[in-house]
Amino acid sequence: MPPAYQPPASTAPLLEIGNLTISFAGEAGWVPVVRSLSLTVAPGERVALIGESGCGKSMTCLAVGRLPPTDQACLGGRIRFEGASLLDDPAAMARLRGRRFAYVFQDPSASLNPVMRIGDQLSEAMPTGHDDDGTPPVPRHARHQRAMELLARVKLPDPAALLRAYPCELSGGMQQRVMLAMALAGSPRLLIADEPTTALDVTTQAEVLNLIDSLVRENGMSLLLVTHNLGLVAGRCDTLHVLYVGQVVESGPVAAVLRHPAHPYTQGLLRAVPRLSSVGSGELHDIPGTVPPPAQLPPGCTFAPRCPYRDTACDEAPALLPIDAQRHCRCHHPRLRHGVPPAATPPEGQP
């Protein structure tokens, strides 16, 4: 087993993304899909990225591993992991990716090799000692035992039989557990989980999320969780960043943001989660309109066309400004309490 994790003495962030911009070549020049995005992940911190499809959540995660196709994508800004610059140091990337930080993707059946046994795929993910990454190599004779341990850590029954199985013999939930075991093979400090339960049967989603939660806690890992469902992050993450068309529109501690969402987009996402308390009332909420394609962003505030509170001020693009000690919001009219527009808020001291 790897040595127990010791949190670093300093409070320096594990992952630091600064002014990240990702553009793809379009018919009429570069199209930005992520626009000057900044966030940090501290050791042991669990960070959630929230937004609809097409908001740049996955691209941000992929950029950490320099995984977007470099011949089509242009990455700007900086990404630092444990002090190493990931965007312009290929040697650091080779040393860190899959070792110090590891991924779990959305569709486990597409991530696993269909013609390789589970055991062989797990062994492949183990450190060989040739990577110059400081992790102790797992010798050939010890790999079977290590693979068994990894499968046991993700709570899969009968690991010995599973090692000989092919991915098609496993259910989606089991496949995702195998992907988690592979991610753990390098004893990562940061787990990047990109919609880890979206492709799973809905009833196994909670199981896999709870497993991720307990693995992160047990190993003192940091977590970067991407999801479109705000209901999943409550209690599972510390910090929340809400993304809309490639920009952070709101960020802050999960509990505070969920209790009093300040950005109309966050409010819309929160209202869209079906709730047990509204059963019988027949209420169903959505966010009108759709996410604009990155090549056709509206001028001014990008959310204005879908926003119930827009006015003339929204013709100008808002900046991401602090609204209290820990929270930021990119809106001209942040909803500072219970969704009541500031203008209609009764003066202090009145109920």
Partner 1 sequence: MIPLVAEHITVSFTRRGRGAFKALDDVSLTLPPGSAVGLIGESGSGKSTLARVLLGLIRPDAGTVRIGERTLFTPSYPRPAKEVQMIFQDATGALNPRQTVFAALAEVLTVIRGLRDGRAALADRVTALLEQVGLSADTAARYPRELSGGQCQRVCIARALAVEPAILIADEPVSALDVSVQARILRLLRDLREQRGLSLLLVAHDLAVVGAVCEHAVVLQQGRVVETGTPAELFRNPQHPYTRRLLNAVPVLE
Under rule CB under 8 A, residue 272 binds partner 1: yes
Q: Binding to partner 1 by residue 52, rule CB under 8 A?
A: yes
* Minimum distance of partner 1 from residue 280's CB (angstroms): 4
Return phi, psi of residue 108, to 5°. -65, -30
Name which position in 243, 269, 304, 307 contacts partner 1 (CB under 8 A): 269
Distance CA 341, CA 335 (A): 6
Q: Which of residues 145-204 bind partner 1 (CB under 8 A)?
A: 198, 201-204
Q: Cβ distance 235 to 249 under 8 Å? A: no
**Nearest CB to partner 1, comparing residues 4 and 276:** 276
Binds partner 1 by CB under 8 A, chosen from 6, 277, 312, 350: 277
Binding residue for partner 1, selected from 268, 294, 318, 334, defined by CB under 8 A = 268
- 17-36 residues in contact with partner 1 (CB under 8 A) are none
Question: % helix / strand / coil in the chain, to the nearest 5?
Answer: 30, 20, 45
Determine if 273 is a binding residue for partner 1 (CB under 8 A): yes
Degrees, nearest 5: CA angle 81-84-90: 105
Question: 84 forms bridges with which residues in the sheet?
Answer: 81
CB of 240 to partner 1, least distance (A): 13
Please say which residue, 272 or 295, places its beta carbon nearer to partner 1: 272
112 phi/psi in degrees, rounded to 5: -85, 150
User: Does the protein bind partner 1 through residue 228 (CB under 8 A)?
Assistant: yes
Residues 6 or more apart in contact with residue 200 via CB below 8 angstroms:
108, 172, 173, 176, 208
3, 280, 346, 351: which one contacts partner 1 (CB under 8 A)? Answer: 280
Considering the rule CB under 8 A, would residue 278 count as an interface residue with partner 1? yes
Structure tokens at 252: 């802050």
Among 165, 258, 323, 336, binds partner 1 (CB under 8 A): 258
Size of the site for partner 1 (CB under 8 A): 35
Residue 225 sits at the vertex; the CA angle it makes with 72 and 211, to the nearest 5 degrees, is 130
> In whole angstroms, how close is the CB of 111 to partner 1 at the nearest point?
17
DSSP string, 148-190: HHHHHHTT-S-HHHHHT--GGGS-HHHHHHHHHHHHHTT--SE
Name which of 163, 168, 236 is nearest 196 in CA terms.
Answer: 236
Contact between 214 and 230 (Cβ < 8 Å): no
Stretch that binds partner 1, among 25-33, 283-291, 310-318, 322-330 (CB under 8 A): 283-291
Q: Which parts of 195-214 interact with partner 1 (CB under 8 A)?
A: 198, 201-204, 206, 209
Q: Which positions lie near partner 1, rule CB under 8 A?
A: 52-53, 198, 201-204, 206, 209, 228-232, 234, 258, 268-270, 272-280, 282-287, 290
